[in-house]
C-alpha cells in the first residue's frame, strides 16, 4: 500500500528492550513535534537481577502498553480518527519484547484501518536528533552509542546509511553497565557512573584505549573495543582491594568515563575529517552522558565540525524517536509495512528499507 506523503500524525510504540513507550508525533513543514510521549521504565524490576531479564520485560510490556496508548492519545488530544499511521519497532532487540509492541501496533492498525510502519530501532535513535532545537541538514556522520551498539554511520544526501565503524565486542553502554557492576553501582550503569564520577579525578588511573588490529597492518581507525578496558578495570579494582578496604570508586568511575569519552570523540572526529563531513550527530543512551557531550562539542569545534546532539530525554529508548523515524519515512513517500511483517532480534540498519516491501523480510 502506498501512503500519501502529506500524512502527518503518527502513534508510535517502542518495546525493544526494557522501556515500554508510546508517543503521538506530528510534522509540519519538516519540523517534528511531540504531541505526547510516555515511557514506563522497568529498570527497578530488572535492577535486582543486575540486567534485563527478557521474560520479565515481555510480561511488563504487555501489562502497561494498552494503558500507555490511552494516556498518549488522551494527552495529545487526538482520537484514532486523527491518527494517520501506526508505527512500532520491529528490529533489533529482544524478540519477545519486540513482539508485544509489533503485535499491538499491527492490531491497532487493523482495527482502525490505518497503515502500519515497522521501524528499525537504530533508525529511531538516528531520528532522535530531529527533536533537537536545530536539526542538522544531510549529509552527516552519526556516532550511535547505546547499550547494544557503538557505530559510526554515514548518512548521505539521500538518507542512505553506510556503517564506517563499530565495536568488535562490548557496546559502550554495555561497558558502562558491566563496569558499574564491578564498582558495586546500580543498573543501568551509565547514569550511576556519571553521577559518582562528578566527584572523582578523571586522570587518577591510566586506562587502555582498545584498538582492533588490521591483519594487513596497523589498526582499523574507526573501530572500537571495550572488553580490554573492562578487564583493565577489573584488575585495577582487584589490586586496589588487596591494598585497602575502601575503593576509590569516584576516581575509578571518573577515569573510566573519561577514557570512554576520549576514545569515542577521537575516532568519531577522525572519521568525520577523513570523510570530509563537517556535521557530527551524537545519539543513543550513552549520548546522555554530560562528559561525552561536552568533550565532543569542545573537540569538534576546534576542528570546525558542527555537533548536533539529541536532547537528553530522547537519547535513551523512547517512542518519540520511533515516531520521528516513521514521519521521515512517510514524508519521503514510503509504502506501508505488510501486516505479515514480524520481528527480528538482529537486522542491519542498511537493510531497513526491506520493512516496506510487499513481501516482508521476516
Of the candidate spans 4-12, 77-85, 144-152, 206-214, the one that interacts with ligand KG4 by CB under 6 A turns out to be 144-152
Residue 201: CB minimum distance to Zn ion, A? 31
Which cell goes with 296?
565532543
Euclidean distance between CA atoms 135 and 127, whole angstroms: 10
Considering just the CA atoms, what is the radius of gyration of the chain in Å? 21
Residue 124: CB minimum distance to ligand KG4, A? 9
Of the candidate spans 126-134, 182-190, 224-232, 248-256, the one that interacts with ligand KG4 by CB under 6 A turns out to be 182-190
Residue 314: CB minimum distance to ligand KG4, A? 10
Residue 146 found at the interface with ligand KG4 (CB under 6 A): yes
Pure H helices in the chain: 43-47, 54-76, 95-112, 121-127, 172-182, 189-197, 227-243, 249-275, 290-302, 320-331
Burial 24-44 (b: 16+ CB within 10 A, else e): bbbbeeeebbbbbbbbbebee
Euclidean distance between CA atoms 177 and 18, whole angstroms: 14
Residue 288 found at the interface with ligand KG4 (CB under 6 A): yes
Q: How many CB atoms lie within 10 A of CB 182?
A: 17
Residue 17 found at the interface with ligand KG4 (CB under 6 A): yes
Contacting residue, 192, 317, 323, 349, with Zn ion by CB under 5 A: 317
SS3 333: coil
* Positions in 308-337 near ligand KG4 (CB under 6 A): 316-317
**How many chain residues bind ligand KG4 (CB under 6 A)?**
20
Residue 170 found at the interface with ligand KG4 (CB under 6 A): no
* Positions in 186-205 near ligand KG4 (CB under 6 A): 188-191, 194
Residue 352: CB minimum distance to ligand KG4, A? 15
Residue 128: CB minimum distance to ligand KG4, A? 9
Q: How many CB atoms lie within 10 A of CB 49?
A: 10
- Using CA atoms of 112, 114, 116, 122 in order, give the dihedral in degrees to the nearest 10: -100
Instruction: Pick the closer one to ligand KG4 by CB: 189 or 210.
Output: 189
Residue 284 found at the interface with ligand KG4 (CB under 6 A): yes
Instruction: Pick the closer one to Zn ion by CB: 36 or 146.
Output: 146
Euclidean distance between CA atoms 251 and 150, whole angstroms: 25
Of ligand KG4, Zn ion, none, which one sits near residue 165, judging by CB under 5 to 8 A according to partner kind? none
Partner residues linked to 22 by β-bridges:
13, 38
Q: Which residues bind ligand KG4 (CB under 6 A)?
A: 17, 146-148, 173-174, 176-177, 188-191, 194, 284-286, 288-289, 316-317
Amino acid at each position: 500500500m502506498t501512503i500519501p506523503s502529506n500524512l502527518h500524525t503518527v502513534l508510535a510504540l517502542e518495546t525493544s528492550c526494557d522501556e515500554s513507550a508510546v508517543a503521538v508525533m506530528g510534522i509540519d513543514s519538516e519540523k517534528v513535534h511531540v504531541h505526547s510521549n510516555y515511557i514506563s521504565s522497568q529498570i527497578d524490576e530488572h535492577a535486582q537481577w543486575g540486567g534485563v531479564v527478557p521474560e520479565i520485560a515481555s510480561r511488563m510490556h504487555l501489562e502497561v502498553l494498552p494503558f500507555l496508548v490511552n494516556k498518549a492519545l488522551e494527552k495529545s488530544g487526538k482520537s484514532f480518527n486523527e491518527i494517520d499511521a501506526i508505527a512500532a519497532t520491529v528490529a533489533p532487540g529482544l524478540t519477545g519484547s519486540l513482539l508485544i509492541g509489533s503485535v499491538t501496533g499491527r492490531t491497532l492498525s487493523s482495527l482502525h484501518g490505518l497503515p502500519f510502519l515497522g521501524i528499525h530501532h537504530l533508525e529511531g535513535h538516528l531520528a532522535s536528533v530531529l527533536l533537537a532545537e536545530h536539526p542538522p541538514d544531510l549529509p552527516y556522520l552519526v556516532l550511535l552509542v547505546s547499550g547494544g551498539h557503538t557505530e559510526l554511520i554515514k548518512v548521505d544526501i539521500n538518507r542512505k546509511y553506510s556503517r564506517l565503524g563499530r565495536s568488535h565486542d562490548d557496546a559502550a553502554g554495555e561497558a558502562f553497565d558491566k563496569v558499574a557492576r564491578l564498582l558495586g553501582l546500580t543498573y543501568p550503569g551509565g547514569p550511576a557512573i556519571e553521577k559518582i564520577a562528578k566527584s572523582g579525578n578523571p586522570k587518577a588511573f591510566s586506562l587502555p584505549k582498545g584498538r582492533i588490529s588490521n591483519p594487513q597492518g596497523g589498526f582499523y581507525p574507526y573501530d572500537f573495543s571495550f572488553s580490554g578496558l573492562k578487564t583493565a578495570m577489573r584488575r585495577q579494582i582487584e589490586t586496589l582491594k588487596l591494598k585497602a578496604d575502601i575503593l576509590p570508586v569516584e576516581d575509578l568511575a571518573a577515569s573510566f568515563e573519561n577514557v570512554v569519552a576520549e576514545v569515542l570523540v577521537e575516532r568519531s572526529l577522525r572519521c568525520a575529517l577523513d570523510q570530509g563531513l563537517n556535521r557530527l550527530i551524537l545519539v543513543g543512551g550513552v549520548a546522555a552522558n554530560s562528559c561525552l557531550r561536552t568533550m565532543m562539542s569542545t573537540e569538534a569545534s576546534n576542528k570546525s565540525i558542527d555537533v548536533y546532539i539529541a536532547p537528553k530525554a530522547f537519547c535513551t529508548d523512547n517512542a518519540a524517536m520511533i515516531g520521528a523515524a516513521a514521519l521521515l519515512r512517510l514524508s519521503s513517500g514510503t509504502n506501508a509495512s505488510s501486516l505479515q511483517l514480524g520481528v527480528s532480534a538482529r537486522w542491519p540498519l542498511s537493510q531497513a528499507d526491506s520493512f516496506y516491501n510487499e513481501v516482508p523480510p521476516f
